[in-house]
Amino acid sequence: MTDRRREPPIRLYKYRDTGPNTERIFKGRNLYFAAPDSFNDPFDCSFHVLVEGARNEAVTEAVAWSLIKDRLPDLSPEEQVRGAKEVRKRLIATRQKELEQMLVDKLSKDTNERVGICCFTEVSDDILMWAHYADCHRGICLEFSSTKGPLKAAQPVEYSSQYPALDLEAIVTKEGLRAAAPWMLMKAEHWSYEKEWRVLDFETGPGAKPIPAFCLTGVILGCRLPADEEVKVQQWIADWPSEVTQYRARQSKRSFRLEIEQVS
User: Do 95 and 133 sit in the same domain of this protein?
Assistant: no
Residue type, 236: W
In-domain check, residue 40: no
Percentage above 90 pLDDT, the chain = 56
Count of the separate structural domains present in the chain = 2
pLDDT at site 43: 79
User: Do 101 and 119 sit in the same domain of this protein?
Assistant: no
Give the whole-angstrom CA distance, residue 188 versus residue 45: 11
Give the pLDDT band of residue 78 (cuts 50, 70, 90). Answer: confident
pLDDT in tens, 23-66: 999 999 999 999 988 888 887 877 655 545 555 566 666 666 66
- CA–CA distances in Å: residue 199 to residues 3, 144, 152: 16, 13, 9
User: Do 147 and 24 sit in the same domain of this protein?
Assistant: yes
In-domain check, residue 88: yes
User: Do 62 and 160 sit in the same domain of this protein?
Assistant: no
Last-in-domain residue among 69, 96, 112? 112
Residue among 6, 1, 2, 3 at smallest CA distance from 152 = 6
Last-in-domain residue among 70, 92, 112? 112
In-domain check, residue 78: yes
With beta carbons less than 8 A apart as the criterion, state whether 2 and 112 touch. no
User: Do 82 and 64 sit in the same domain of this protein?
Assistant: yes
In-domain check, residue 106: yes
Q: Which domain holds residue 141?
A: 11-35+115-262
In-domain check, residue 178: yes
User: Do 231 and 136 sit in the same domain of this protein?
Assistant: yes
Whether the model pTM is above 0.95: no
